[in-house]
Amino acid sequence: MAGTMGPRIPGSKGNGGKRTEIKLRLPQQIAPGVYANGMVVQHSSEEFVLDFTMVVGGAGTVVARVITSPPHAKAMVAALQENLRRYEGSYGSIRSPGPRPRPGMGFQPEAEEDE
């Protein structure tokens, strides 16, 4: 799987703009990944919250939550744009799905289980 880090790596100031190699560990419980077909984004002045969702038949579940700083969120967008550009260079244009109805989404507490 090809990928790139964002244009700036946190803590890499003063290295002349060079990319820093970071060795990443992929914990076994995260390695399989999760499938998401939706995303809800919220933000405050301090952070962005990305809730990745799996929505089927009018009901959905948050399958992963990522909380990050605004500068890192911007770096993530740049990395995704770069990878989309590379993907389309290799495989052709990605067809846009067109406008989708925006469902009202809200969180509901999980049902409590009887003990």
Q: Using an 8 Å Cβ cutoff, are 53 and 61 in contact? A: yes
CA-nearest of 62, 69, 71, 51 to 7 is 71
Taking the chain (115 residues) in consecutive chunks of 10 residues, what is each chunk's mean pLDDT?
48 63 94 96 98 93 98 98 98 84 64 60
Give the pLDDT confidence score for residue 46 in this predicted structure: 98
Give the pLDDT confidence score for residue 109 in this predicted structure: 66
